[in-house]
Amino acid sequence: MVSAQTRRTSQEPSMATKRMSRRAFIEAVGATCSNWQWSWSFINHAERFVIFGAWDRDTAGRRCRIFSENWERRRSGHRNPSYKQSRGHIRLVEEEGYALRTFPMAWSDARNDAQGNGPPKIGGFTPTLSVRRLTRIGKDWYATDLHPDDVEMRLAEELDEPQTYSEALRKQITVNAVERNPKARRACVKHHGFDCVVCGFNFERVYGDRGARYIHVHHLNPMAAAEGERQVAPVRDLVRMCPNCHATVHQVVPPLDVEALRQMLRERGASEGR
């Protein structure tokens, strides 16, 4: 069970109704940084927590990428002045027991040039802190929503009365769908086969005829990022994945790359004595 301080912070009233600057918001919760112009993260040593902004474009479901080793240098090759400070804040969470909190930020391309390059700009933010869990995947760190058991743990026999939940309600949902070309999929598996490119799983070897010729196909350039029709080279742009690996790479935004997931499997195999 988490402390009363943590529970209070995760449920504290939103200050979104008040018009304030990012600096005023951070200072209002007792945190500070090295430079208010370029800092990515902030710290409150007295209460032992760090704060990261959570970009909307890096958020998928319950996870948001807040830091990456790939951010050490800009595209120009110059070092990002924010990197060293934020890497230190990540270390405090991982090694010193500091808590992690985030607040939502909207990404703006207002500073981009005609080629779409330029530094990010905060298009707006919500001055509300959420207590998060830090998760590392490859070279990236993610802020993840706390599991309900992290907030309150109750044994089954402690429930006062049986609870039931309604399911199977019917409702109409309208979505924007990105059409996939089945010919591209067939060309991919014809060339590469039906083994998962990450873990090597093959449905036919395990399930026999019932699993024959079954595999997912993953786009190395995410379909969700496509703007209009585009050309796909099946051998180069598509890879085959089992459903487990495919679901895992899409747990985060942008999707995890193939080699990063392979490395995760190697590290877990080593840690489990395989």
Full DSSP string of 90-107: HHHHHHS--EEEEEEEEE
pLDDT computed for residue 196 by the predictor: 94
| 76: number of Cβ within 10 Å | 7
User: Which of residues 114 and 240 earns the better pLDDT score?
Assistant: 240
pLDDT computed for residue 175 by the predictor: 46
**Degrees, nearest 5: CA angle 270-267-64:** 155
pLDDT computed for residue 35 by the predictor: 93
Nearest C-alpha neighbor of 249 from the set 267, 265, 233:
265
Nearest C-alpha neighbor of 49 from the set 104, 89, 4:
89
Beta strands 49-55 and 121-125 are unpaired
Q: How far apart (Å, rounded) are the C-alpha atoms in residues 135 and 68?
A: 12
Rounded average pLDDT over 85-110: 92
pLDDT surpasses 90 at 27: yes
Give the torsion sign (CA, 226, 66, 85, 30).
positive
- What pLDDT band is residue 12 in, cutting at 50, 70 and 90? very low
- What pLDDT band is residue 190 in, cutting at 50, 70 and 90? confident
Q: Which of 13-22, 125-134, 197-206 has the lowest mean pLDDT?
A: 13-22
pLDDT computed for residue 15 by the predictor: 43
**H/E stretch holding 236:** helix 234-237
pTM of whole model > 0.85?
Answer: no
